[in-house]
Each structure stands twice: as structure tokens, then as C-alpha cells.
Structure 1
């Protein structure tokens, strides 16, 4: 643990078939595919190499199926009990509302004006019946204050973008578009971040 805030080892869930198809998952409960299962195990090996006493970390996941399976496969790959971790509802992915299940191409075809509005301001745009990154950031901000020790956290791409803006001061414009890799670990220490 560094001075101040505990270190976060952020793991995005492994790949799903909807990731491959480019579909907006949001809060739809889509399971990992075979590649995603391998990525989850790779993340466990990466974490173990990165943190010598990884068993001492706190482990927290979004309650969605793809994040729970990632956490359990990751922990099993590290030789830890798969189901010894906490769930935090605040870590659930942002919802794309009426757009969930669609690809961006389909959104642009069906609602070109709304898609263009989102492109102009991805951080603040709220899809029909959905949630903006700004709203998500307010939902996850208290989690940072609740962490009492270094933590391995399994959640979603949108949540990682919110954390980068809130915890690291990444500009909201950049945070909304940054790639969040599956199978790798985003290490957030204080105001800095790096991929491992």
C-alpha cells in the first residue's frame, strides 16, 4: 500500500460473445466465452506475479455473471478459494438503456442524431433510458473512500473509465474513449495508473 489511498488492481471481465460482436452489453448478464475464461486465468497469473502476497489483497467484484466468473477463475488460477470475495452493486456496468444489445453501427443507423450527440460528448451523454459516464462516476466515487487496503477489483470497461477520471484525474474526454484491456491489470496507485 502506498501512502494515502490503497492500490487498486483493476481487472476488466474477460471477453464475451457480445464483446466479439461489438454489442453494447451494459447491464445485460452475458457470460464469458472461451477466450474470456482464458483471459481471466491469465489475469490471475499476472496479479500473482505483480503482488507477491496476493492472498492478502481485498477482492471485490461487480455482481454480474461475467465479472463473477472472471473473479472466480482468476482466484482459482492463483490457488485461492474461488468464491472468497465480496460483491459491490455500485460496480455494475453503466446501462446503455434502449441501446443494449445493439452494435454501434445499428445505433448509428436507427438513431443517427442521438448517436452524433453522444459522439460530441461521450462523458455526459445519457442514452435513452440509460446512464452517462458522469452518472456512473458519481456512483463509483464512494468506493474509493471505502477501500481500506490494497484491492483486486473485477468490473467493467465503463467502471474503469470512471475510476481513471475520478481517481487519477484523466480528462473526462480522454477517459470516455480510452481502451480498457481484457486479461491485463490496470494498476491505480494514488493519482497514477499503468497497465501490467
Structure 2
């Protein structure tokens, strides 16, 4: 099985708002970004995060796709659509110190997000009728999948830069994983 993981293209966020679960629009000229993507059409299965910023990409390429809630970005709860600089220090500083187990009020922590993403991933790996899969998702989701495949410490997750509109390809053969490309 070959799994292509692509991050949605760049968003319109001039105020540097915190967003994950919240809908954040793509850049106004997003179709120009789409035209730069080199995606073939021969996927056996295409699954997208239900976020509009991901579904627009699937729609543009006219993929027959389904959505899965487990592919959403982190839920930042009460911080969603708040400027990062306006989040109270007494709330955000503990998160900065321990982003793995501390969560935004009303949100989820990284361990909870990891559990839902891995639930999706483990289910996908049992798929028998898909040799080539496309997953349209978010940086956090893709990082968690790479963290699982490469088995590096969770606290190093943000060391991997995931570019907007960039694709990472994971190949699974006889139960062994290989990374064919990252951020192409």
C-alpha cells in the first residue's frame, strides 16, 4: 500500500489566529495554489478531513472521496479563532511547557488527538482493496502519522515542517514502512 498524505494549501490568516477545528478560509487565490499541485488521479481511495480547507482540494481535483472526522486538526477549544497573542498567559504558558498533555480550555490535548488519528490510521492499514490512497489533512495529523511510522518521541513532532500543499508518501510492504518522500 502506498499512502499519500497532503496538507491543505495556505490559509488566509493575517491576524495570526489560533485555529485547528475551526474553519479557516484558504488564501483568496487558492485555485492558483491548486494549479501548482502535481496530483495524479489513480487513487483507489481518497479520504479528507471534513474541514472546508481540505474538501476544497478534493473537489478541485474531482476526486470521489469520503471524509473522516478523525482527520481534523487539533481542537483548540476556547482558543479557536483567537489571536495567539490574546490567549491569556496563565492558559497558554502551561501548554507551551507541556503541549502533549495540557489542553486549551474546551479543547483536546495532543495525546487525545493522537488517539483519534491512530484509530483512523490503524483502520486504514487493514484496508484490503486500496493499493494507493490519498489522505487530505492537516500538518498535525500528518506529523502524528509520521511520528507513529518513524517512532520518534512525541515531543519532537513539531521538528518536522509540513508545508502547505506539500505531499508525504508512506509505503507499506509486508508489514514494513518506508518513507518515499516528505514535503514534495
User: Following TM superposition, by how much is the alpha carbon of 1:35 offset from its aligned partner in structure 2, in angstroms?
Assistant: 4.3
Name the residue aligned to 1:12: 7
Cα offset for 1:11? 0.9
Measured after TM superposition, the shift of residue 191 of structure 1 is 5.2
- Give structure 2 stretches of 5+ with no counterpart: 172-176
* CA RMSD between the two structures: 2.0
Unaligned regions of 5+ residues in structure 1, if any?
1-5, 49-53, 76-81
More strand by share: 2
Identify the range of structure 1 (61-70 vs 137-146) with the bigger mean alpha-carbon deviation: 137-146
Could you tell me how far 1:176 is from its partner in structure 2? Answer: 3.7
Asked if residue 36 in structure 1 is aligned to residue 37 in structure 2, the reply is no
Q: Distance in 2 between matches of 1:105 and 1:136?
A: 24
Aligned equivalent of 2:105: 128
Q: Which residue of 2 aligns with 1:95?
A: 75
Moved more, 161-170 or 181-190: 161-170
Match of 2:174 in 1: none
Counterparts of 2:74 and 2:153 in 1: how far apart (Å)?
Answer: 19
2:64 corresponding residue in structure 1: 84
TM-score (norm 2): 0.83
Question: What is the CA-CA distance between 1:38 and the residue it aligns to?
Answer: 2.6
| TM-superposed deviation, 1:85 | 0.9
Paired residues, number: 173
Which one of the candidate residues 154, 158, 161 is aligned to 1:172?
154
- 2:145 is the counterpart of 1:157: no
Distance 1:117 1:9, change over 3 A: same
| Residue 116 of structure 2 corresponds to residue 139 of structure 1 | yes
TM-score by length of 1: 0.78
User: 1:184 aligned to 166, 174, 180, which one?
Assistant: 166
Partners of 1:9 and 1:152 within 8 A in 2:
yes
Whether the 8 Å CA contact 2:23–2:52 is kept in 1: the answer is: yes
For the pair 1:194 / 2:182, whether they are aligned, the reply is yes
Task: Note the C-alpha offset of 1:126.
Answer: 0.8
